[in-house]
Amino acid sequence: MTQRQRVLGNLGGALERLDIDDRARSYYISKMIAAAAAGLFDAALNYLWDETIAELRRRVAGYDLDYFFDVAVSAPEKRKHLSTADHLSQIQDVDLLRAARDIGLLSDVGHAQLDSVRYMRNHASAAHPNQTELTGLQLVTWLETCILQVITLPVDTVTAETGKLLRNIKQRRLSSQEVSSTAGFFDRLPPDRADALAAGLFGLYTADSSTPDTADNVRVLWPELWPYVSDEARYNFGTRIARFVANADHPQATSARELFDLVDADAFLPAPVRIAELDHAIDGLLEAHRGWNNFATEPTAVRRLDALVGAKGEVPPSLSTKYVKAVVEAFLTNGNGVCWAAEPTYRAMLERLDSVQASLALRAFVDTTISGRLQTARARGQWEDLLSILESKVTRRNDRDLLQAIRSFPRTPDKLRLDETIMRLASPPRVQPAKPRKRS
């Protein structure tokens, strides 16, 4: 049986999940089938990915564009230029998948599977020159993944309720009864959804288009949601305030500061200028690393970040998690190859981590983006090098136990986050903001 016969013989089972309306708008799937029938599997994969991205963008546009952009783009100077469905094309595929997962339009499993398809599309399809041979069964499997995880995936209850809440916040003033029931809804939110919703409320409140009713609604709900927001997200909001100040976006900075005052969040406010520059440099590194021409752009981006961090590796607590995750992600590579011009700098930055930062790096596998990257053999090799660098830095008993458990783990490191024992050891302590002293 030829590879083309395998594709055509198994397409029916995958396509039967699509109803008439889905098939009518699945333009790129038609082109994919035609390409596969001609034996052009690399082109077929490219068309399949185009269909997946088009459908995901359609779902985002039909859900809540402002909410999506608030979650997808943390840089205020970029976020303020994004507002319509046409602007979705300015979001990189990797960020589209991440933000769609964060707002509930993709599941964790779906995100991991689609990120794997994205990797193959970038490195084995007709999108780029390559020598990789694809099989018919691979193509059918990827088609089924895209159909199950995007095209026909139903919206879960939490995602639907979140969308309804955001619409109500923007359309009218909430009653006291609605505020009370919404507070109960916050208690049922998974941690990552609470962070995403907080980003949505933050964006609504600081937007130029915010109305008095919308602002009042956010002010009432913000203190109810704040206890469920992670420390990382809290520090991120503080960093956004600093970037508003650095960009001279004073109305936005004032609005954001009001939200922090509501919940006594001064402990999460950074020193503005250096934090803003560091945060911008981290974003620049991630954008370069995840971009098409990363081997050419990464060295400049990482050298700028390294210069800001300095010889002692000093990173403010508010950016430690973001900084460590970014350096670890870049060090692990994108799976396609090592950026040799940047690799020595990554090693030097990792070797300057203190014990607290090393503890964060040791837990990097918990992040779904990094966990997905660990599916590749090259990233797994870099992961072993990372563990060797961290071995002399982790000092707490819990960290040493976690390192030992990771080294003894019998499966590949991308499965670490699925192990209950590993995840229990990896649970970080929350940072408790210092209470203000009472004046005598």
Whether pLDDT at 235 is above 70 = yes
CB 225 within 8 A of CB 198: yes
pLDDT at 234 (0 to 100): 93
Cβ contacts of residue 269 below 8 Å, gap of 6+? 238, 241, 242, 260, 318
Identify the band that residue 125 occupies on the pLDDT scale cut at 50, 70 and 90.
low
- Among 37-51, 195-209, 308-322, 419-433, name the one with the lowest average pLDDT: 419-433
CB 53 within 8 A of CB 61: no
Whether pLDDT at 434 is above 50 = no
Q: Of 137, 143, 122, 155, whose CA–CA distance to 28 is shortest?
A: 143
pLDDT at 136 (0 to 100): 77
CB neighbours of residue 351 within 10 Å: 12
Query: Which tokens in the block code for residue 101?
Result: 């997962």
Pick 13 or 368 by higher pLDDT: 368
Identify the band that residue 10 occupies on the pLDDT scale cut at 50, 70 and 90.
low
Distance CA 367, CA 24 (A): 37
Pick 11 or 402 by higher pLDDT: 402
Roughly how many angstroms between the first and final C-alpha of the chain, as a whole number?
Answer: 86
Q: Which residue has the tokens 């469920």?
A: 228
Pick 150 or 404 by higher pLDDT: 404
pLDDT at 430 (0 to 100): 52
Angle, CA of 356, 358 and 360, to the nearest 5°: 75
Angle, CA of 89, 93 and 97, to the nearest 5°: 115
Query: Which tokens in the block code for residue 138?
Result: 């691979």
Average pLDDT over residues 108-115: 88
Q: Of 188, 135, 126, 127, whose CA–CA distance to 157 is shortest?
A: 188
Cβ contacts of residue 317 below 8 Å, gap of 6+? 235, 431
Q: Of 69, 7, 51, whose CA–CA distance to 151 is shortest?
A: 51
Whether pLDDT at 240 is above 80 = yes
pLDDT at 119 (0 to 100): 82
Average pLDDT over residues 62-77: 92
How confident is the model over 28-48, as pLDDT tens digits?
A: 888 888 887 878 888 888 888
Pick 142 or 171 by higher pLDDT: 171
Sort residue 264 into left (φ over 0), alpha (ψ -120 to 50) or beta: left
pLDDT at 91 (0 to 100): 94
Distance CA 314, CA 113 (A): 36
3-state helix/strand/coil string of the chain: CCHHHHHHHHHHHHHCCCCHHHHHHCHHHHHHHHHHHCCCHHHHHHHHHHHHHHHHHHHHHHHCHHHHHHHHCCCHHHHCCCCCHHHHHHCCHHHHHHHHHHCCCCCHHHHHHHHHHHHHHHHHCCCCCCCCCCCHHHHHHHHHHHHHHHHCCCCCHHHHHHHHHHHHHHHCCCCHHHHHHHHHHHCCCCHHHHHHHHHHHHHHHHCCCCCHHHHHHHHHHHHHHHHHCCHHHHHHHHHHHHHHHHCCCHHHHHHHHHHHHHCCCHHHCCCHHHHHHHHHHHHHHHHHHHCCCHHHHHHHHHHHHHHHHCCCCCCCHHHHHHHHHHHHHHHCCCCCCCCCCCHHHHHHHHHCCCHHHHHHHHCHHHCHHHHHHCCCHHHHHHHHHHHHHHCCCCCCHHHHHHHHHHHHCCCCHHHHHHCHHHHHHHCCCCCCCCCCCCCC
Distance CA 6, CA 3 (A): 5
CB neighbours of residue 369 within 10 Å: 19
Report field, pTM of the whole predicted structure over 0.75: no
Q: Of 217, 214, 218, 188, whose CA–CA distance to 202 is shortest?
A: 218
Look at the alpha carbons of 423, 424, 426, 430 in this order and tell me if their dihedral is positive or negative.
positive
How confident is the model over 352-408, as pLDDT tens digits?
A: 999 999 999 999 999 988 999 999 999 999 999 999 999 999 999 999 999 999 999
